Amino acid sequence: MTFAAATELATATNEHLANISNTLIYSAMAVYTLAFFAYIAEWLFGSRSKVGRTAAALTAEAATAKAKGPAVTVKSKGGTAVLERPEVIVRSSAGSRDVPDGPGAHGGDEQGDLYGRIAVSLTVLAFLVELCGVLARAASVQRAPWGNMYEFNITFSTVAVGVYVVLLALKKNVRWLGLFLTTTVLLDLGLAVTVLYTASDQLVPALHSYWLYIHVSTAIFCGAVLYVGAISTLLYLFKDSYENKLAGGGKPGAFASSVLERLPASASLDKFAYRINAAVFPLWTFTIIAGAIWAESAWGRYWGWDPKETWAFITWVAYACYLHARSTAGWKGRKAAYIALIAFGCWLFNYYGVNIFVGGKHSYAGV
């Protein structure tokens, strides 16, 4: 066999693996869709008779506070004495309440739990299929499968679901994340296979470095974990508003009650999001340092205020402000949650906005 024939055969083999990768990604999307409907069934068919513990706890506290009243008047011969009653605190300054976690999407019901288990099984299957698609893409180009935005997207969504699966394997109560996770993963993959799709190809010389495996892989992992934290933070804001309304004597709508009652308490969601963000922050710091070292090797300088570098640093500062506010100012409520969402918004802009709309040394990746 001649060299030209061998090269042609290798190219054909690469195209074949790339096609297999595409097929696996589409197959994963199909299974994620089935998982999405199974999660919907878990929420719909889970028992509604076993939810309402948050409402019961907060309504009872509000009723007790109202019954006691602000003060007690005692009449005596010498005049009138007003004795102030202790104020009943329903919501602490830190943003937490002593209310129970919800029973989960299944509502404590066997039928709902069955649908939930089916949904988790389908999610794991979709994760494995997508992982095989990512590996096939890597084999088709004989390099790390994150050389452009399409590859970054499919790898990112795979890692995000992997984080969810690992948390489930560790017996963490995170099944409530499933519906929101599969919804956004489907959107991410839909964007990847349409707008961001890039044919399998080799990298430019600047990316041929072992730092590609170190720097970009940690960036993907950090983004996936921060994404899970952002979902938790967003759900915290909804649950906190729901608890505020109940504590104030209001009556939320039936749909909001059915959904939000099943989530963990706002304090639990807030704590979970904080732990997620705090755990991955050191690795994000390492990601920026690794990028600077790679930049010195590729371009002869550690830092050049390239748009990608700048927004990576802005993201780091935003999360540092969040963690600092939590640890020093004692912010454990909505103010800290807003900072966390702004920080994740910076991460999203660093990936989508900078890559698509802003030119710079990182623009060779294209879409």
**pLDDT tens, residue by residue, 153-173:** 999 999 999 999 999 999 888
| Average pLDDT across the chain, whole number | 81
For residues 208-234, give the mean pLDDT. 89
Check pLDDT > 70 for residue 367: no
For residues 294-299, give the mean pLDDT. 80
Check pLDDT > 80 for residue 323: yes
Report pLDDT for 101.
82
Q: What is the reported pTM?
A: 0.81
Check pLDDT > 50 for residue 65: no
| Contact indicator for 273, 227 with CB cutoff of 8 Å | no
| Contact indicator for 165, 60 with CB cutoff of 8 Å | no
Contacts 24+ apart (CB under 8 A), 181-185: 181/123, 181/228, 181/231, 182/32, 182/35, 182/36, 182/39, 182/119, 182/123, 183/36, 184/227, 184/231, 185/32, 185/157, 185/160, 185/161
- Range with lowest mean pLDDT among 2-11, 45-54, 170-179, 298-307: 2-11
In degrees, to the nearest 5, what angle opens at C-alpha 168 toward C-alphas 167 and 173? 90
For residues 11-30, give the mean pLDDT. 86
Kindly state the percentage of the chain with pLDDT values over 90.
Answer: 43
Check pLDDT > 50 for residue 83: no
For residues 293-316, give the mean pLDDT. 85
Alpha carbon distance, N-terminus to C-terminus of the chain: 37
Token representation of residue 240:
């906190």
Report pLDDT for 155.
94
Of the two residues 320 and 327, the one the predictor is more confident about is: 320
Q: What share of the chain is helix, strand, coil (3-state, %, to 5)?
A: 70, 5, 25
Check pLDDT > 50 for residue 2: no
Check pLDDT > 70 for residue 79: no
Q: Using CB atoms within 10 A of its CB, is residue 47 exposed (0-12), middle (13-18) or buried (19+)?
A: middle
Report pLDDT for 333.
81
pLDDT level of residue 184 (50, 70, 90 thresholds): very high
Kindly state the percentage of the chain with pLDDT values over 70.
Answer: 78
Report pLDDT for 296.
83
Report pLDDT for 178.
93
